[in-house]
């Protein structure tokens, strides 16, 4: 069971790992065969499905993304706890983001999906 303290520590370490730009440290939060979905995978990794599987594929995608965004920085807003998952809600250099992370019994991410705020048209 995910406890609030464990979730908080995981979220803080995840954010810190990203802000250090150390992909080995980031990937330490993930199982070897995890899958990652993101709209940016379509453009940066040229994968039409928007999903990659495995640390090697995701590492290459994240390395390319970091090279394109040298000022990338995350600030944690909130960590939401589910039965076997977390949602990390954070402010990125490019706007609001939420990442859904499903965890295995060892506390490693086995499935992840990134979500990004988009500008909405004005409401009538």
Grouping H, G, I as helix, E, B as strand and the rest as coil, residue 2 is coil
Query: What pLDDT is recorded for position 1?
Result: 78
Query: What pLDDT is recorded for position 122?
Result: 54
Query: What pLDDT is recorded for position 73?
Result: 96
pLDDT (tens digit per residue) in 16-49? 999 999 999 999 999 999 999 999 899 888 999 9
Residue 41 is inside which H or E element, if any? helix 39-44
Q: Which domains does the chain have, with CATH numbers?
A: 4-116 (3.10.450.50)
List phi, psi (to 5°) of 22.
Answer: -100, 100
Regions in the chain scoring below 50 on pLDDT: none
Query: What pLDDT is recorded for position 119?
Result: 56
């Amino acid at each position: 069971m995910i406890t609030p303290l464990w979730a908080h520590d995981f979220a803080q370490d995840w954010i810190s790992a990203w802000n250090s730009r150390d992909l080995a440290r980031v990937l330490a939060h993930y199982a070897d065969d995890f899958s990652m979905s993101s709209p940016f995978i379509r453009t940066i990794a040229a994968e039409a499905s928007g999903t990659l599987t495995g640390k090697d594929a995701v590492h290459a995608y994240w390395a390319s993304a970091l090279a394109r965004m040298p000022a990338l920085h995350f600030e944690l807003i909130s960590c939401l706890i589910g039965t076997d998952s977390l949602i990390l809600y954070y402010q990125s250099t490019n706007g609001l983001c939420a990442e859904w992370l499903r965890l295995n019994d060892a506390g490693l991410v086995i499935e992840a999906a990134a979500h990004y705020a988009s500008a909405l048209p004005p409401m009538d």
